[in-house]
Amino acid sequence: MDSETTYYRQLQEHLDKLPIGFPKTDSGVEIRILQLLFTSIEAKVALCLSLGNASVETVRKRLERKFRITFEAEEVARILRDMFMKGTINRSHMEPFKYSNAMLAIGMFEHQVGDLSKEMVELVHQYFDEGFDDEFFRSSLPQLRTSPHMKAIVPEYNIATYDNMREIVRKTDKSIQVANCVCKEGEAILGKPCKQTRDIEVCLMFDAKSYLDRGKARTITKDECLEIINRAESEGLVLQPGNSLQPFCICLCCGCCCGVLTSAKKYEKPAELIAHNFYAKVEEELCTGCSICVSRCQMEAIHIENKKAIIDLNRCIGCGLCVTTCKTEALRLTGKTKKTVPPRNAAMLYLGILSDKVSKQKMMGNMLKLLAGRQL
């Protein structure tokens, strides 16, 4: 292994310490992804970052100490700015800017929207198959969850606000952005455009300043956001908000493109991998076996047997898409007995995911380091 490849391997091991890690594979596909995302000097700069925000001066000192590289602060600031614009690291919203490592997903891959190459898409697909899928779904606390379409909820059911995306949009005091879906964009590059919708501008976000700074999103009104959600229900897209009481995003996902759903479907019981509070149920006496629900389901959870719809609860994630187009009202959503309440915010979500990864004692030390902006 040459010295430059060594730095990329060190970066892989470094990023593997994040809440959603960057696992090693037998093929080394993860190194090829890093080589596409980072130049040699950028890889060394990334090795000087952590989950906690670091100032330009802190990064400059770490470069000198770790690699005996001496740069003026202005040059370090330029490199960090370029890396942020490329989507390979995160940046604080306010000046003076501070920087931190980004995970592959949700993170660096999503930030490549608008700049994807066929090579990158193919490598990411390979990486998901060879190891990243298991890492993504390792935690009992997923990054995203499924919220039901409200047309599928009977009026008398008292749904919690955190499961009502329309209510969250109406009540938010944050700005709302929409961006192209990197998954749909990637599949189109491979010659497999989305089967559910022609619209790829379906990623909703709140206060997404980093996307705006990169020119990757536009700000929309609440009414425009609600219309996008309504259109998603009509076209058969699953509502997947960030898994917190204050979601940072609402992804509108399909079973043919979405990295989360397509990866989950590879497992025997995908319903165990995705947080959700509802499941679909069939009233057999009302079901005519028309099979509309089969095509609506993005998780391949429904099939027709003896002219009746049968739901595999190991695959159903309670999105409600099958319910909203059932002409005989044979389908309905039923609330799970034990509700899953999401963490308070994104910070608590990722600390929770990290706690699944390390021992409690080490977790406390990591939390203190992160609060102090130190590296893990």
Which phi and psi (to 5°) does residue 303 adopt? -140, 165
**DSSP assignment letter at 290:** -
Q: Are residues 71 and 166 in the same domain?
A: no
Mean pLDDT of the chain: 93
Averaged pLDDT, 276-283: 96
Which phi and psi (to 5°) does residue 147 adopt? -110, 145
Q: Are residues 172 and 281 in the same domain?
A: yes
Domain with residue 20: its CATH number is: 1.10.10
Q: Are residues 311 and 246 in the same domain?
A: yes
Does residue 208 sit within a domain?
yes
Q: Are residues 83 and 158 in the same domain?
A: no
pLDDT in tens, 118-163: 999 999 999 999 999 999 999 989 999 999 999 998 776 778 889 9
Does residue 132 sit within a domain?
no
Q: Are residues 18 and 163 in the same domain?
A: no
Does residue 136 sit within a domain?
no
Q: With CA atoms as reference, report the closest residue to 92 among 55, 140, 147, 67.
A: 55
pLDDT in tens, 27-70: 999 999 999 999 999 999 999 999 989 999 999 999 999 999 99
**Domain encompassing residue 301:** 150-335
Q: Are residues 206 and 320 in the same domain?
A: yes
Residue ending a domain, choose from 40, 72, 101: 101
Q: Are residues 195 and 322 in the same domain?
A: yes
- Report the sign of the C-alpha dihedral through residues 11, 17, 22, 26, in that order: positive
Global confidence as pTM = 0.91
Residue ending a domain, choose from 44, 77, 101: 101
Residue 30 tokens read as 């993860």
Q: Are residues 89 and 236 in the same domain?
A: no
Does residue 327 sit within a domain?
yes
Residue ending a domain, choose from 41, 76, 101: 101
CB 126 within 8 A of CB 29: yes
Does residue 83 sit within a domain?
yes
**In this model, does residue 344 exceed pLDDT 90?**
yes
Q: Are residues 157 and 69 in the same domain?
A: no
Does residue 194 sit within a domain?
yes
Q: Report the C-alpha gap between 335 and 319 in whole angstroms.
A: 12
Does residue 273 sit within a domain?
yes
How many structural domains are present in the chain? Answer: 2
Q: Are residues 298 and 210 in the same domain?
A: yes
CB 259 within 8 A of CB 183: yes
Does residue 163 sit within a domain?
yes
